[in-house]
Amino acid sequence: MVSKRLKNILYAVVLLLVGGLITRIADIRQMQSLLREQHNWEKLDLVLRQIDRHYVDTLDHKTLTESLLPEVLKKLDPHSLYFPPAELQEADEDLQGNFDGIGIMFNVPEDTAIVASVIAGGPSERAGLLPGDRILSIDGRKVAGVKFPQDSMVRCMKGPSGTRVTLSILREGVEIPYEITRGKIPVKSVDVAYMMNDTTGYMKLSKFTRTSYAEFMSLVPGLIKAGMTRLVFDLRDNTGGYFDQALLLANEFLHRGDNIVYMEGRNRSRQDFKADGRGSCQHLELAVLLDEVSASSSEIFAGAIQDNDRGTLYGRRSFGKGLVQEPINFSDGSGIRLTVARFYTPSGRCIQKPYDEGSDDYNSDLLERYRHGEMMDADSIPKNDSLLFYTVGGRPVYGGGGIIPDIFVPVDTVGVTDLLVAMNRSGMQARFSLIQADLHRKALQQAHDLPTLNKVLDGLNLEDAYLNYVKNQGLKVDRKQWAISREVVMTQLRAMVGRYSAMDDAAFYPLIAPLDPVIQRAIAQ
């Protein structure tokens, strides 16, 4: 009886062992089969299932997934990205043209947030906040003098429309409590638009948001009415944004049937985009300003203008971001931006710069441009004869990544001395400007036009006050170096202090323009 029971137990054990062996053999065979087909996505699934089945410790599947997805997409190209829910919301808000919050811009020069500007029509303006106010606490939490992270401060003040936040503000030595109801905050993509002279208008577009075209169209009629026959359109430092906004803006300048751009990919057939001939700016002369940060939609616009011989490009070679990202969002609020095609200018140039050597080389490209002299000398810009194309008028243009301007303007080094570098590095001009804004707030807030503002600035004796400030900060001023850098510093100071006036950016950009060699070159043509 015992012997029979023992035999049954042994038989059961053997069956279990054999079953396990068969399973292992099946797993091994499946693994071997997948190893012979490296392109098969089932291998990834198999590895993950093996981890799930056999790994020694308890697994946090969510953490593993969130860590794995960015690494997978990184292997594709530099612009295919995975966004966790919070990051996706933030990325979308940046381009939507509005967000929920209280409506202020602030700086943190010395461990205390100082309101730089209050967005017109926003909750903070209605509550009575003013430029120069110091933020001491948010919802009872101290944020001044405690090295509170700036991004955390932003998150504390942002929130859904209709919710409330309490701030403690220091103004002229008096602490004032505020309760502000959050609301929708409009975000401008056009930093400034003004007449530089009797016939030349200037407009700076910081990014291509959902509202860029509407903003542009609301501002152009006023400039034309003021006498504009030529527009300087500044796309420097503009990293791109919505593709359709670039199309709409290019369409305003191009003639019927002109090619704007086309896109094509392995699983995307070629798609061409052409102007419809109904643009309101076809009669304007156009100058487009570019630099090494101008990317994506900026390059689409610039490439369309250049290839159609519609305007003149000034500055330095653009970034070279010409990959088409398609948004794919998931039910948990996360999403990916997957590259599905490439952008090509009308002449056939691929805007995208090479990225085959890996993301490290790709990300260090701008540094390499400095190293081999491209920022100072147009002859150092790489040009490959196999990537030679022609505009509609027969002018030669080169592909290979980025848009090469028609007129090269090097990085400005006029007035640069060790003294200027030391001042800029320590942020002395910015901190001094805040002090002046506090001292002369009433006069600055009453300046609503440049002539009035210039009179206020002329009466502040900025040079002597600044040199005394620098001395008190422990920086020795070499008089020879100051003579070289003086014009640069004083122009910076007037523009920075002017920004705290009622004009805000409408003061800063005109006042800083004399220092800008790209603008000056565009005006001189």
Q: Band of the pLDDT at 231, cuts 50, 70, 90? A: very high
What number of residues does the chain have? 525
Element spanning 498, H or E: helix 479-498
Per the CB < 8 A criterion, the answer to whether 401 and 353 are in contact is yes
Q: Band of the pLDDT at 385, cuts 50, 70, 90? A: very high
Q: pLDDT digit string (tens) for 405-453?
A: 999 999 999 999 999 999 998 889 988 998 898 889 899 999 999 999 9
Q: pLDDT digit string (tens) for 127-152?
A: 888 888 899 999 999 999 888 888 88
Average pLDDT over residues 59-88: 88
* Domains of the chain, residue spans: 98-186, 190-325+338-408, 418-524
Architecture of domain 98-186: Roll (2.30)
Q: Of all residues in the chain, what percent carry a pLDDT higher than 90?
A: 62
In the chain, the N- to C-terminal Cα span, in Å, equals 109
Q: pLDDT digit string (tens) for 83-115?
A: 988 788 777 766 665 678 898 888 887 788 888
Nearest one of 274, 273, 255 to 264, comparing CA atoms: 273
Please indicate whether the domains covering 98-186 and 190-325+338-408 agree at the CATH topology level.
Answer: no
CATH class for the domain made up of 190-325+338-408? alpha beta
Per the CB < 8 A criterion, the answer to whether 273 and 260 are in contact is yes
Q: What are phi and psi of 142, to 5 degrees?
A: -65, 130
Distance CA 57, CA 146 (A): 40
The answer to whether the pTM exceeds 0.85 is: no
Per the CB < 8 A criterion, the answer to whether 275 and 255 are in contact is yes
Nearest one of 103, 116, 95 to 158, comparing CA atoms: 103
289 is written with which tokens?
A: 């300003």
Element spanning 171, H or E: strand 164-171
Distance CA 13, CA 344 (A): 67
Nearest one of 403, 266, 405 to 347, comparing CA atoms: 403
211 is written with which tokens?
A: 């509202």
Q: pLDDT digit string (tens) for 470-481?
A: 999 999 999 999
Distance CA 350, CA 347 (A): 9
Element spanning 299, H or E: helix 297-307
Looking at residue 36, what is its pLDDT?
A: 53
